[in-house]
Structure formats: C-alpha cells, structure tokens
Amino acid sequence: MKNIPIASVERVAKYIRCLKHLQSKGEEIVSSKKLAEHTQVTPEQVRKDLSYFGKFGKTGTGYNIKKVVKRLSNILKGRKNWNVCIIGAGALGTALSRYQGFRDAGYNIVALFDKDPEKIGKKIGSAEVYDIKKFSDITKKKDIKLAIIAVPAESIEEVEEYIAKSQIKGVLNFVPVTLNFNTKRKIAIIEVDLAQKLYILSYLTKK
C-alpha cells in the first residue's frame, strides 16, 4: 500500500461523520461536490482521499452513502467495536465517559481508572471506576486496547508506566505533556492539547 497522508486519514474520518449525518436525513447518494461542500474541502480532495483506500463511487452517478460509510469505517475502525478506558475520573474524565459521540462511532467506554479511594468503585454512566493498580489486569480481562488519559499533569509519569506494562495499543492524551513510552512495542499516540487550540485560535483572529 502506498503511503497515505495522515491528513487524508483525518479527512476520511470527517467524511464518515458527515455521511452518517446525511444518511440520518434520508439521503442515499452523494457526489464528491456535495460532500466537499459539507466538509469544507474541494471535490478533488474528496476523490483523491477516497482513492487512497479504493474505489467507492459509480462514474457519472456518485457515491452510495450506506456502502461508503460501511467500507470506510471498516478501514478506520475495523469490523468490531472497540473497548476503551479512561484514566482519570476527574471532571474531564467523567465528562468524556459520558460523551455520546464515542459510542455512536463504535467506541465503548467500559472502564475508568483512578488512584483516589473516594472514586474507586463508583459508577459513572455505564462504567465503573477501578483502582489504577489493577490497570493491566482489568484492561486484559475487558479486552481494552485503547486508553484516554485525563489525569492532572503531575500524575502523568505514573500513568505512563502502567500503560507501558499493559497491552494498550493506542492512547488519546489530554494531558499537556509529550508522552514518551520506552517500550519496544509501538504505542500509537494522539495528543489533544486544549490550551494549544486557544493559542492558535487567538493567533488566527489577528490575521
């Protein structure tokens, strides 16, 4: 397979979101032009992005929304839904565990972890808060491969160790610290730095 630009992958995720939305409105067919309008890119970009992953459309007609959604989400997510955990049962972790968008996309929050005895054992939405010490055990038992980190910055090193010793394969990190797992197995990392977004936003408003 050719090297697919990460930017293309990101846009494809956006297309899925948009196509699902159109689907919920009863639409069945969409053209690259229309999809482009809804996602703020150019039609050529849409076609090029999709072409990295195969042929999705009918010449002269457009794309069958249902089929494309299915194939694209198979590519990004695979056929099965994922079990996901959240580390840190504070305000942010709690809010994220209730976030409906994860479920809708096929990612189920099935556990939270914290070290505060006050929080351990509580139920948040449908998930329970577990002792972080049991991280490796419980993620194994529950078949969790993805983790969302939402702890205070001071605790990040501890968390890094727990993850390094576990079977976690991918991490979504809300803590404004660049992670550095020193493991042989590759752990995918995506950083979401919320303050950074505001820096960029204020910079953009001045242009």
Partner DNA sequence: GGCTGTGAAGGAATTCACAGCC
Partner DNA sequence: GGCTGTGAATTCCTTCACAGCC
Rule CB under 7 A: which residues touch DNA?
Answer: 3, 5-8, 30-33, 41-45, 47-48, 50-51, 55-63
Tell the burial category of 53 from Cβ atoms under 10 Å away from its Cβ (0-12, 13-18, 19+). Answer: middle
The nearest distance, CB 42 to DNA, in angstroms, is 4
Is 113 among the residues that bind a second copy (CB under 8 A)?
Answer: no
Q: Which of 22, 66, 145, 181 forms a contact with a second copy (CB under 8 A)?
A: 145
Instruction: Determine the Cα–Cα distance for residues 57 and 61; give it in Å rounded to an integer.
Output: 8
Instruction: Determine the Cα–Cα distance for residues 102 and 162; give it in Å rounded to an integer.
Output: 24
The nearest distance, CB 129 to a second copy, in angstroms, is 16
Give the torsion sign (CA, 159, 170, 7, 101): negative
User: By rule CB under 8 A, what string of x and - marks binding of each residue 27-56 to a second copy?
Assistant: -----------xxx----------------
Nearest to 168 by CA among 135, 198, 192, 129: 135
Amino acid at 16: I
Site for a second copy in 5-24 (CB under 8 A): 6, 9-10, 13-14, 16-18, 21
Cβ–Cβ under 8 Å, residues 92 and 67 = no
C-alpha 107 chain-centroid distance: 8
Q: Which of 42, 167, 183, 196 forms a contact with a second copy (CB under 8 A)?
A: 196
Judged by the rule CB under 8 A, the positions of this chain that interact with a second copy are 6, 9-10, 13-14, 16-18, 21, 38-40, 73, 75-78, 82, 84, 91-92, 94-96, 98-99, 101-102, 104-105, 107, 145-146, 169-172, 176-178, 188, 190, 192-206
